[in-house]
Amino acid sequence: MLTFIALAMILVFILSLSMRKLNVFGALTIVPFVFGVIAALVKGKSVLDVFTWIKNGIFYTQNATTGKVSMGVISPAIIILFAVLFFGVMLYAGLFDPLSEFFIKKAKGDPLKVTLATVLVASVVTLNGDTTTTIIIVIAAFLSLWKQMNMKLIYLAIIVVTPIGIFNQLPWGGPTIAAATALDVEISTLFASILPGMLVAEVYAIFMAYWLGKKERKRLNFDPKTTAELHPEVLQEMLNAIRENEPEKKRPKLFWFNLGLTILVLTLLLMDVVHGSVLFMLGTAIALKVNYWDVPTAKGILDDLAPDALPPALATLAAGAFSGILGGSGMSAALATSIAGIIPSGLGAHMAPIYAIIAAPAITFLPQDAFYFGIASVLAGVMGQFGISPDQAAVASMVGQSFRLISPVIPALYMLCERTETNFVDFQKEYTKYAWPILFIYLIVHTVTGAMPL
């Protein structure tokens, strides 16, 4: 009976998001609460137990026998809150501007240099973890140049989203937060496991941009031996897209301080010396005080960043209701046992790569939270019965991120296609055509490093 209730809860959860009947926050709280009450009544438990399950999902639980403590979602929620604020402050202060301007100036009139500059600028800007911001800034900087040179705008769309899909897996990115929260693993551990694959994927993204640039050279009959230069007005227009993006908030004189602070925070984060939430909280406070000295200005910056920081943090906290009820009610264990019972024993040991491949379309066409909390969290329990650890299951669940950036449920992609005058379906086809190797890069690298069992 619990298996049936769990399946019904997951189905209603996914449909409520897919059909836009509830937002993420509502779906992660209302749906599990209703089904949690049903599960409590079926088990003969008090309805008040549902509130305990939610509390445990948000904060922590302790095994009465072993004494082991399992953290809830409070830790990743605080990390994502302060990480978004930290990188938002750095983006406003103009930390990434000099590098972006350098790449733009080096592009000149060579299609190959333009594609490489585009992918490098996108890779730098997307470090803040926000898809929409990256698309807005990069398209604003490069669209006029691509049009002037008569380059294929669909290539521009592909080159922009490829690094976004890779660097969305940084510790403050939505997918990593969702995977770590849903599967109850440490964000730092998960990130350390997937980082080698991300780096190799970024090398491929640069190679892909190089390849597309070579194709455009050939199509446009461009001779790299010529001394073609950008028209000064076009170059200035591109640079202005960077420089005039809220110029009153930029602090160019504090570039070296901001760079040093960012490197220090990221280094300590990767070394796991201090918890990420503490690092980003202190980093945000210091960055705000140094860059925006007076209190009203600093408050204004926080107010401006609130729409970016609050929704993912609230969704992460709300995920505690979902995971807490799914686990506390026994639905998760019942569902995992039922699925494990129908899997041939010879196939079970190889579930990680199989799951990683078949999960790619699921993570593409389902809302991210629907996938991680509705599917990945359950299948992690199934894989656990075949000796696959939660950390390894989390790594396998991230492989599908290679195709996440063609998802029809990401609104920013429609803006991208509109600006690049590209049909959305054509964009999906072209991205798949050129970016499919990233899926196998993740599979190979994760297997070689031991992050995911074969």
Give the closest residue to 325 by CA, choosing from 377, 273, 390: 377
Residue 201 has pLDDT above 90, yes or no: yes
Taking phi over 0 as left and psi of -120 to 50 as alpha, with beta for the rest, 72 belongs to beta
Cα separation, 299 vs 312, in Å, equals 20
Cα separation, 442 vs 357, in Å, equals 10
pLDDT of 158-178, one tens digit each? 999 999 989 888 887 778 888
Cα–Cα separations (whole angstroms), residue 78 to 103, 149, 190, 243, 279: 34, 45, 17, 31, 11
* Mean pLDDT (whole number) for 294-311: 88
- DSSP letter assigned to residue 375: I
Q: What is the mean pLDDT of the chain?
A: 82
pLDDT of 31-43, one tens digit each? 999 999 999 999 8
**CB under 8 Å to 433, separation ≥6 — which residues?**
none
Q: Is the full-model pTM beyond 0.75?
A: no
> In degrees rounded to 5, what are phi and psi of residue 70?
-110, 120
* Mean pLDDT (whole number) for 227-245: 66
What are 71's strand-pairing partners? 60
Contact 274, 268 (CB under 8 A): yes
Please measure the distance between the N-terminal and C-terminal CA atoms of the chain and give it in whole angstroms.
34
Q: What does the DSSP assignment read for 216-233?
A: HHHHTT--TTS-----HH
Place of tokens 């949690």: 36
Residue 207 has pLDDT above 90, yes or no: yes
Give the closest residue to 128 by CA, choosing from 79, 84, 174: 84
Contact 434, 155 (CB under 8 A): no
Residue 213 has pLDDT above 70, yes or no: yes
